[in-house]
Chain A
Amino acid sequence: MDFDPSANRVVGTARVSGSAPKKAPVPVKIIVAGGFGVGKTTTVGAISEIAPLTTEAEMTSESVGIDDPGQATMKTGTTVAMDFGVLTIDQTLKLYIFGTPGQTRFAFMWDDLVKGALGALVVVDTNRIDDCYPAVDYFERAGLPFVVGINTFNGQLSYSLDEVRWALAVREDVPVISFDARFRGSVRDALLVVLDQALDKAIRMKSS
């Protein structure tokens, strides 16, 4: 039987009945956060080996007149779509990249999402910098290593990295970088910066 155990990709047609499943790989995850329309899905899609999948999660949203200024504070169940992608590092290690809406009112979901995450890339559109504040706030509080990545949609920055850093007032050790969500190499480099931060933290945790 011609069976290649290194083939981690699911073909889907060949289901050998009675065959023991391969050993489960260790999953690791990176969060891609940011406001609506900043390029999270593009980022996920650029690096993922599969077309990004969408899962729907329900969460409480506390809409304090955000969507409807005439409405009093109320809680409603909101279904939010999350895009994610996968990158197989090797047979035993899989990287998941979850794109998540960055609204304060979705923060409940984040506790789940952030648990065990390596780190986060906060995607920023310099035309709407405030959209990323909730994500930055959240990751700072959660103590999750994160990197601010300015998505250069047109290959140009409306503001310099220093200006963005000033506006966000993030700590010195939080990298502020620019990248282009459309290009795999660019997204890869941005994620590598996130992983550097994650590694620093993991080493600090281990030695303490």
Chain B
Amino acid sequence: MTYPDPDEPVPPARPGVRPFLQSGPQHSTGGYTPTGEHPPVEQSTNSLRPFVITSGRTDGGDPDIGMETQVTVVPGAPPSRLSPETRAIVSLCEESPISVAEISARLRLHLGVCRILVGDLRAAGQLDVHVLDNDTPDPETIMRVIRGLRSIS
């Protein structure tokens, strides 16, 4: 492969890597397929850059990991070699349970990137990801939120 300008500081997007969510609604139905049946016509280098730290993976891993999903460290997890980003995530989670959205905001990590890395850390046994059993909250939980809200001034 030859690049038109070898001095070009930003190499062109690797072909075949699908910009995040480029496939629209399909993203929730399956993982990233390197052979992508629908190669994007237009590639935006811009949208790829945050995903360098996920080794180019752009599809959000586990769809069960929501923005509000709580994450904690696994107590006594064996030390493991972590990238700066994943190490930062683990140390944030050490303080107290924290949501994926808060991790993303506090570390200024793209939400999609954050989700992938959190999924990785769960797979590596470093983090517990507390996925809820049921998606729809029960009346009792809602009542508790109502009582809690009423009590604030």
Q: Residue A203 contacts which of B101, B132, B139 (CB distance < 8 angstroms)? A: B139
CA of A89 to CA of B144, assembled, Å:
8
Question: Does A188 contact B152, Cβ atoms closer than 8 Å?
Answer: yes
> Contact: B145 with A76, CB < 8 Å?
no
Counting chain A CB atoms within 10 Å of each CB, the highest count among B27, B40, B136 belongs to: B136
Looking at the assembled complex, report how far the CB atom of B138 sits from the nearest CB atom of chain A, in whole angstroms. Answer: 6
Question: Which residue of chain B has the shortest Cβ distance to A58 in the bound complex?
Answer: B20
A114, chain B: closest CB distance, angstroms: 10
Chain B residues, CB < 8 A from A206: 138-139
Q: A77 near B46 (CB under 8 angstroms)?
A: yes
Please state if B47 and A57 are interface contacts (CB–CB under 8 Å): no
The answer to whether A76 touches B152, judged by C-beta atoms less than 8 angstroms apart, is no
> A26 is contacted by which of B23, B94, B132, B152 (Cβ under 8 Å)?
B132
Say whether A199 faces chain B, with CB atoms less than 8 Å apart. yes
A residues within 8 A CB of B142?
Answer: 28, 118, 195, 198-199, 202
User: Closest Cβ of chain B: how far from A186's Cβ, in Å?
Assistant: 12
Known contacts A89-B144, A90-B148: A24-B24 contact under CB 8 Å:
no
Report if A21-B102 is in contact (Cβ < 8 Å); known contacts: A26-B132, A192-B146, A206-B139.
no
Contact B20 A202 (CB under 8 A): no
Q: Knowing A108-B25, A198-B142, say if A116 contacts B96 (CB, 8 Å).
A: no
Contact of B153 (CB < 8 Å), options: A60, A185, A202: A185
B14 interface residue per 8 A CB criterion: no
Q: Bound complex: CA of A75 vs CA of B18, how far in Å? A: 12
Which of the segments B2-10, B81-89, B106-114, B118-126 contacts the partner chain?
A: B106-114
Question: Which of chain A's residues has its CB closest to B101's CB?
Answer: A55
The interface size bin for chain A is: 35 or more
Number of residues in B with C-beta < 8 Å to the partner? 60
**Which B-chain residue is minimally distant from A27 (CB atoms)?**
B68
Please give, as numbers and ranges, the residues of chain A lying within 8 Å of B102 by CB-CB distance.
53, 86
Q: Specify which chain A residues have a CB less than 8 angstroms from the CB of B99 in the assembled complex.
A: 27, 86, 94, 96
Q: Does B75 have its Cβ within 8 Å of any Cβ on chain A?
A: yes
Contact between A28 and B141 (Cβ–Cβ < 8 Å)?
yes
Docked complex: A1-58 residues within 8 A CB-CB of B: 8, 10, 12, 15, 17, 20-29, 53-58
Contact yes or no, B97 A28, CB < 8 A: no
- When the two chains form the complex, which single residue of B67, B135, B149 contacts A98, counting CB atoms closer than 8 Å? B67
The answer to whether the Cβ of A74 comes within 8 Å of any Cβ in the partner chain is yes
In the complex, chain B residues whose CB is within 8 Å of the CB of A56:
104, 110-111
CA distance A107 to B18 in the complex (A): 19
Say yes or no: is A171 at the interface (Cβ < 8 Å to chain B).
Answer: no
Instruction: Supply 9 further A-B pairs (C-beta < 8 A) apart from A79-B47, A111-B25.
Output: A15-B95, A21-B72, A55-B101, A60-B23, A77-B44, A108-B25, A115-B135, A199-B142, A202-B138
